Structure 1
Amino acid sequence: MVRLLFLVFFIGLFGVRSADAQTATDCDCFVKGVVKDRETNLPIAGALLSIKNTAKVAVTDAEGHYRIERLCQGNYVLECKIIGYKTARSTISLQHSAEENVNLNEDEVHLQDVEIVARRLSSLTQPAASLQNQALEQTRGQTLAGALQKIAGVTMLQTGASIAKPVIHGLHSNRILIINNGIRQEGQQWGSEHAPEIDPFIAKRLTVVKGAAGVRYGSDAIGGVILVEPAELPYKAVSVGGEINTVGFTNGRTGVLSGTLEGGINKWKGFGWRVQGTLKNGGNIQTPDYFLANTGVREQNFSVSGGYRSTKLGAEVFYSQFHTNLGIFSGSHIGSTSDLLNVIKNGEPFIKADFTRTIERPNQLVDHDLLKLKVYHQFSGNRVSLTFGRQYNQRAEYDLHGPQAAIKPALLFRITTLTGDMVLEHKPLKEITGQIGLSGLHQYNFTDGRPLIPDFEQSNAGAFVIERLVRQKWEWEAGLRYDLRWLHVYRFTGQTLDQRNHQFNSWSGTVGSVFNANARLVFRTNFGTGWRPPSVNELYSKGVHHGAAAYEEGEATLQPETAYNLQGNVEYTSERFRAEIGLFHNSIRNFIYLKPQPEPILTIRGAFPYFKYVQANATFSGADITTEWNMAPRWEHTGKISYLRAYDQAANDYLVAIPANRLENGFRYQISDAGPLHDSFVSIGHLWVAEQKRVPPNSDFMPPPAAYHLWSLQVGGDILLTEKQKITWDITAQNLFNAAYRDYLNRFRYYSLEQGRNVSVRLKWSF
């Protein structure tokens, strides 16, 4: 079966080469020209030119020149755009070649500010992938980590059925930065069950930047960056619009309702506003054989934003509140060591539950407030922006046992974070464009309840520079950054206050290139370094972590991690076929991880698996492959392969808790393109996840689970109501055949199976 799936994938990867080669010999036309500013008559570097309805693109060099090759004879629409100028379009007729010069008029910034962060300030030479439009719509109602699994190389670390956080090339938690609407998301992300406190409905696009990105984003970004990007505010809207999303899931009988309302202000040109909110309610999740007790979820989220934008000035304010109540599977809390070992041996909970929406102990109550203020000013070809953020995160964890467990949280974390960034994007210096920036962070955390982690105060300061050079088919990029971090820890030993101070500092660097061999083939290479100081839980945690159903112990002598990341990426695009192959090697000195201990530990709160934080020199190597093939009219095949190998060099053995290799295949048939059922389709997908055999012997409480196959079926489309209104719908069946399986990256795989079949219905009314 697996061999057949690989065969299907590689037929898609290589089977269209001969047809593409034949087309290429018949289509040797090209268009070239120069892009200039209409007022100053100066060349514009970095403008993007594209041939509409094709994959042909080009970027202007330092003198404003561009060239798009391998076009067939015919009529085309040439589009030219760049931030700060109005988009220009012109019709060209090709017999052999044409010269089309473009003069651009200066305009307001067209992309919403966070998109500028994602596209202009992140590395252009690092591989990145985005979820947007229909691909993003089909994930509505899922967690952020669940949605991002559609991107090759991204998996998720789970704690039961309702808590998940994203994993990029085997790295997660404090090694992955999440930029939420331009603000570095800061909460209690150090825990494996501390999922990102973000409502995915605020995003118009989710982007994953793979590899060390510490130069632009600072320490901790040694595994990658996730950009949660809202749509731009409707600054020019003359009427109120929005959308209403409803999602229903059969498994857990979960319902989701989310709405957005937005518009401009007619009397005040350049102002825009948006209000958004989400409600979610679900009950016990069901495996193929039984319900999982106390796995319900409640969410109430909202956000409001407003802004002003003109040619030279702009400002935006954004506020969001995230609130959730998460049940923790009660079958993971066991009274004795022998009972724990029996549950792990049998793989089933002692007590089988029925369906209920009631959330009892153990559970988590999480609140997260985020306030953002951003202003920018453009002058003499430069742009300076200031961004300030304040976040407050409160997490209350309630135990299953104890005389006051129902009224008083066993653990209460309250963390406040203040961030500030200043970025100058300077005008071109001959052939060089770039950015210079300063960033700062101040954070303080108070902990009540039993001593798992101590109170702490943390401050960060950093400065960076990133410069870019474009010459003909080559793009070069280099950057350098310096960071300082101060960590002050306050903990009690009996009645005595024990204060510990730590100071960390390091450089980060990046250098990369892009070679546009022709209109179809692009090569990217990037070498980056990053670092991450140990977090307070890795240094000082000691006790039962009920959310993770584990006893965790830190080590105060841990040293900062240092990463050296090398990546290569090849992209090939033709009229019918697209392929992207990425290779990576990440060497991390002093890699910190939770190592399972030989035996569980018995505490006054029950028996739990026992983990300690240790360090090793580790390497993470692998490949991501993505293909898209228009096999025939209305038929499309997509394929993804993710291969990862993680190694402990000191122990001369593999690492634990590393994602298994996986293969995906999907077939889609376009039923109709127009009419009442506009853009309707049906698709079938298959996911194969291998058994993780690369683990040290006797390194976990349970061997890695067997490989598994999951099938999905989806049908959907649009119903056009009026020119401005439509209903988007889809029905999806995940785990179509109700397979019984366990995932290696689920911390609760010791106690139960994964959830069974789950049918979802999505409806979106856009108006």
Structure 2
Amino acid sequence: MHKYIILFLCINILSFSAIGQSNCVLEGMVVDQNNQVLPGASLMLYPIKKGGVSDRNGKFEISDLPKDTYVIEISFIGYNTLVDTLIINKNTSYNAQLTVSNLSLSEVLITDNYAEQRKREEALSIEIVSDDDLKKNLGGSLMNSLERLPGVTTINIGSGQSKPVIRGLGFNRVVVVENNIKHEAQQWGSDHGLEIDQYAVDNIEVIKGPASLMYGSDAIGGVINMKNSKLPASDTFGGLVDLTGKSNNELLGTSVSLYGRKGKFFANARATYIDYGDYKVPVDSVDIYSYRAPLYKNHLRNTAGYEKNLHVSLGIAQDGFISKFYVSSVNSKSGFFANAHGLEPRNVDTDLHDKSNRDINYPYQKVNHFKLINTTQYEWKKLKFDLDLGFQRNFRQEWSQYVSHGYMPAVFPDTLAFHSDLEREFEKFVYSGNFKISYQLNEKTEMFFGVNSEFHDNQIDGRGFIIPAYEQFTLGGFALVRNNFSEKSSIQFGIRYDYGQIETTEYQDWFPSPVDENQPTNLQYLLRAENIDRNFSNLSWSLGYTYNAENWSFKANVGKSFRMPIAKELAANGVNYHRFSYEVGNADLSPEKSYQFDAGLEYQSKKLTVGISPFINYFSNYIYLNPTSEHDRLYGNGNQVYYYTESEVIRYGGEIHAYYDLLENIQLGLMGEYVYSEQLSGEKKGFTLPFSPPASAIFSAKYHKSKLGLIKDFYFSVDYRLTASQNEIVPPEKTTDGYQLIKLGLGGNIEMGKQKVNISMQVHNLLNTKYFNHTSFYRLINVPEPGRNFIINISIPFSGYF
């Protein structure tokens, strides 16, 4: 039924596409200081956020513009961004002349005016990262590439996968959005990464703090909003070839993209292939509880893997109307560290695993994430309509050799429907729909109204059990008003109502077990999970204020957010082999409710930028896994038992950043972060929360020159990361010593005739330091982070005209 609700919204909203009105046209030309044309310059008009790209002759045209006053922004790589004000009450001609830029502010943050404007108008702490900056900070995965941002950390799963943590909150408390649709996978598992192609991302917007108002209840900790497939210029075609190599795990990767636009029709395609071997750590053995596992040539055996990804997008763009279709398939296969799967590090066939560092043996996981998304935008007078529809299928299998535990039969029966070595299988179907209306009431006031809905159908299979099959439906609506008191200050207020329902399906073991120790012959198929039918609803709100003077900016936001518990928290009842735990859900959990205050203060001058972003956060009932003194004996593993519980929690902390132009081409930087958490009730009163990141800071120096020999936009950077020890833990977590790391970066553009080649090189962990990341997946068994890693990325763009 819920699918039909979304379909009904689609049919009704698309009916607006038949309405149209012709207004004014803005045309002109973009040149440099020598009056040479600049083809491919990007133009954007605010506040309507409508733009275009200059053609081969430097000319541009933006049509269907209502009569109004606009801010025009024109940017081109290597040139200073031009910002001007235009009064358009008829067809208008405008010519722009750009000047060569000398220095960009930061290695990570975009420094053009759009990014600055977006940061200044948003009451929450926000960072914007471009595709170029992602390549300059290329890590093992997309989320690793964001770790340089203060307040953002990761939970690493080997060298190829990771998941984001914002201000100490992760898993289902951080929403990942791709092309306006929430990315839905099996993100509840610490061993489950994000199935997203890092080459397919054009830019990323990171919102730190509760963003439930616009993105739904799971955004209680923040949002990672990713965009890809920019709109090509009219009558152009082109593409990009990316080549990547990494020394630590001998990674080889390539990604090829093609795009084209003819008239109002456009298309984009990308294919990616990545292959990597076992990654290396700066030790020759690891201590897994009481057993020391030797490592062959420092390789973490069976951590090799590969990715095969395909993306296609196509659409139509005409006056006031843009509609795009995105289809993607992300496929990966990756091994789990062989000595760390379950509690059998001694029984690993080292001869098999150490024969090659590129093979993938048991245990491993295979994942396919398929997406079909349509985004449609229509503008009519002062109204703007956005409709996003999405379908996703996340298919995950975990394979390992069958070994009987507890009362499982010694020989796997051939009468069962699943393979003996299929440990777990998850298949999730997700149907999503978003509808938003923006209305410009007057020059000072803008109003937003929206509805979001999702339906999840998750099925399970395999010999192992941890969560039951379930269905989940969510529906939320919001209203937001933003009013500009003056050119310097604005206030925004919004409310949201959410409704959610989750139904889990009962599950019985496929093998019988004795229910009474005194009567071992009395066998039953144990019921591991019962049918659960829970409904949740909540009212959220947010109030924000921003003030922007010439050199100073201030922002503050206070709000209430909520998150409904997920299937694992309500109904888990099984062994988590990756964390050496037996996890039990609680069907009576209440939804999380969070109250948070955020602030931001920044000073900018010609040479100096300094900012601070403090926050304080209160949970009336934070949900987490509580370790106990019990041990699971029934299934023969002896794993420690964890129960999902809720506790009153207070959290506070913040981020700081500073940049200073020491000389014309040299910039110094500082970025720091700190989070403190404390439980105010429950069994662990006085303790912190699990996976709490320690305080850390990055001291950076960067040399930049517009031209150095044959290299344009040359840069060389040094990062010195200082991370404090983490002694505030929740047993059985271990304390983690602090560490210091050095990272180098080098790159620029080389022009070979008319062909430009971008090269970026990095050295991670320059001194091959042995250190532990407190939030890492393998921290529990004393596996250090990867050793020294040389990374190179070569990007070769090409383009032409029809």
The alignment's TM-score, normalised by the length of structure 2, stands at 0.78
Q: Would you say the 8 A contact 1:456–1:490 is kept in 2?
A: yes
AA at the equivalent of 2:423: A
Q: Would you say the 8 A contact 1:304–1:319 is kept in 2?
A: yes
- SS of 1:747's partner is coil
1:110-509 correspondence to structure 2 within 5 Å: 124-140=122-138, 142-234=140-232, 236-265=233-262, 269-289=263-283, 290-335=298-343, 353=354, 356-402=357-403, 408-429=421-442, 431-449=444-462, 450-472=464-486, 473-493=488-508, 494=525, 498-509=530-541
Structure 1's 623 and 716: CA in aligned 2 closer, same or farther, altered over 3 A?
Answer: same
Tell me the residue number matched to 1:680.
714
CA distance in 1, matches of 2:482, 2:583: 45
1:569-584 correspondence to structure 2 within 5 Å: 569-584=600-615
Is 1:567 paired with 2:598? yes
- SS of 1:287's partner is coil
Q: Would you say the 8 A contact 2:177–2:183 is kept in 1?
A: yes
CA distance in 1, matches of 2:148, 2:168: 16
- SS of 1:331's partner is helix
Deviation at 1:179, TM superposition (A): 0.7
User: Which residue among 595, 601, 611 is the counterpart of 2:626?
Assistant: 595
Is 1:664 paired with 2:698? yes
Structure 1's 274 and 296: CA in aligned 2 closer, same or farther, altered over 3 A?
Answer: same
Structure 1's 83 and 681: CA in aligned 2 closer, same or farther, altered over 3 A?
Answer: farther
CA distance in 2, matches of 1:672, 1:380: 43
AA at the equivalent of 1:448: D
Give the number of equivalent residue pairs: 668
Deviations 1:303-357 (A, max 9, x none): 00011111222211001111111111111135469x89xx9xxxxx999957511
AA at the equivalent of 2:657: T
CA distance in 2, matches of 1:411, 1:270: 47
CA distance in 1, matches of 2:119, 2:717: 36
Q: Would you say the 8 A contact 1:398–1:406 is kept in 2?
A: no
Tell me the residue number matched to 1:611.
642
Deviation at 1:606, TM superposition (A): 4.2
Is 1:726 paired with 2:756? yes
Q: Would you say the 8 A contact 1:79–1:88 is kept in 2?
A: no
Deviation at 1:653, TM superposition (A): 2.9
AA at the equivalent of 1:418: Y
Q: Would you say the 8 A contact 2:204–2:227 is kept in 1?
A: yes
Tell me the residue number matched to 1:513.
545
AA at the equivalent of 1:397: E
AA at the equivalent of 1:656: P
CA distance in 2, matches of 1:125, 1:149: 22
AA at the equivalent of 1:586: N
CA distance in 1, matches of 2:502, 2:120: 27
Structure 1's 361 and 576: CA in aligned 2 closer, same or farther, altered over 3 A?
Answer: same
AA at the equivalent of 1:398: W
Tell me the residue number matched to 2:64.
none
CA distance in 1, matches of 2:443, 2:130: 35
Structure 1's 353 and 748: CA in aligned 2 closer, same or farther, altered over 3 A?
Answer: farther
User: Which residue among 659, 664, 676 is the counterpart of 1:645?
Assistant: 676
User: Which residue among 762, 770, 774 is the counterpart of 1:744?
Assistant: 774
Between the aligned residues of both structures, percent identity stands at 25
CA distance in 1, matches of 2:87, 2:181: 24
Deviation at 1:601, TM superposition (A): 4.6
Q: Would you say the 8 A contact 2:70–2:88 is kept in 1?
A: no
Is 1:556 paired with 2:554? no
The alignment's TM-score, normalised by the length of structure 1, stands at 0.81
CA distance in 2, matches of 1:81, 1:600: 71
Unaligned runs of 5+ in 1: 1-36, 49-62, 67-74, 93-115, 344-348
Deviations 1:31-59 (A, max 9, x none): xxxxxx9799xxx98589xxxxxxxxxxx
Unaligned runs of 5+ in 2: 1-22, 27-44, 50-67, 72-79, 99-113, 284-297, 404-410, 413-417, 509-524
Q: Would you say the 8 A contact 1:47–1:80 is kept in 2?
A: no
AA at the equivalent of 2:758: T
CA distance in 2, matches of 1:406, 1:754: 34
CA distance in 2, matches of 1:549, 1:529: 35
- SS of 2:143's partner is helix
Deviation at 1:136, TM superposition (A): 1.5
- SS of 2:506's partner is strand
- SS of 2:779's partner is helix
Tell me the residue number matched to 2:295.
none
